Amino acid sequence: MNLNCFYYAQTINVIGDRGLEVLARSCKRLRRLRIKRDVDEDEDCLVSQRGLTALAQGCLELEYLAVYVSDITNASLEYIGTYSKNLSDFRLFLLDQEETITDLPLDNGVQALLRGCQKLRRFALYLRSGGLTDLGLSYVGQYSQNVRWMLLGYVGESDAGLLEFSKGCPSLQELEMRGCCFRERALVDAVMQLTSLRYLWVRGTQYLLLVATFWQWLARFGISSCFLPEELMFLISRGRHIHPHILAYYSLAEPRTDFPHTLIR
């Protein structure tokens, strides 16, 4: 069988580094690869920087890559930026099995990846505390010129990183943030600078406690006037056992009524 005829592949992360090395040698024309997480994953058969490096060097036509990794280095991300010039959708999720990751923070690797992959339109980076500093977050904003959708998890160190990030991303329309440390005022300031933004979802952050304050800052700066004639809606969830969520988006429809009592709009 000629494996080079395969353009799309989907597997679970127990394919491991050895499996990715075989894939890289055998499927040179592979364009789309999704490596899902296995609930019964074997720690000896997971994907790391070794597999990503082989994949980048062997599958030069990759356009879409979504992968869960157990370990990662700056160098492996640099390889992707060097060889994967056709990537338009890249999603990396760092698992939490390993207590120590080989090479954190990933500032330089993320910078190299984004500089090299100029065709990126969708970008997800879900790390852990210390995975990306404020400087690295500023790189994401600076080099994501064409990215329209972005998911960021556990990135940055302070509000300063978010504000530097928001000075870039001129094409960003949808932004999701999980587990980040940003406060209400910084979120509002970032929204004001991200002029193309149409959708914002912030969740799972321990610092986002004063959701009413977020709303007050929006009103104070008259943010709604920036978005006319479309409607800007905010849904803020609060609960005893969950972190607050903020969901903001444009809508031309009538105000929604299909939300539970735990949401405030």
CB atoms within 10 A of CB 129: 11
**Residue of 197, 219, 209 lying closest to 243 (CA atoms):** 209
Take residue 58 and report the two structure tokens written for it: 């062997």
To the nearest whole percent, how much of the chain has pLDDT over 70? 72
Bigger pLDDT: 227 or 257? 257
pLDDT digits (tens, 9 = 90+) for 140-166: 999 999 999 999 999 999 999 999 999
- pLDDT of res. 100: 80
Residue type for 177, please? M
**Residue of 6, 12, 58, 3 lying closest to 32 (CA atoms):** 6
Where do the structural domains in the chain lie, given as residue ranges? 8-264
Residue type for 250, please? Y
Residues 6+ positions from 258 with CB-CB distance below 8 Å: none
- pLDDT of res. 181: 86
- pLDDT of res. 12: 67
DSSP letter (8 states) at residue 196: T
- pLDDT of res. 124: 98
In which residue are the tokens 């709604």 written?
A: 224
**8-264: which CATH architecture?**
Alpha-Beta Horseshoe (3.80)
pLDDT digits (tens, 9 = 90+) for 62-82: 999 999 999 999 999 999 999
What CA–CA distances, in Å, run from 66 to 29, 46, 197, 212, 235?
17, 14, 24, 36, 29
pLDDT digits (tens, 9 = 90+) for 37-57: 876 655 666 899 999 999 999
Sorting pLDDT into bands at 50, 70 and 90, what band is 233?
very low
Is 215's pLDDT higher than 60?
Answer: no
pLDDT digits (tens, 9 = 90+) for 82-125: 999 999 999 999 988 777 888 999 999 999 999 999 999 999 99
What CA–CA distances, in Å, run from 63 to 90, 122, 209, 249, 264?
8, 11, 39, 28, 40
DSSP letter (8 states) at residue 68: E
95-104, 236-245, 251-260: least confident range: 236-245
- pLDDT of res. 142: 97
Instruction: Kindly report the pTM of this predicted structure.
Output: 0.84
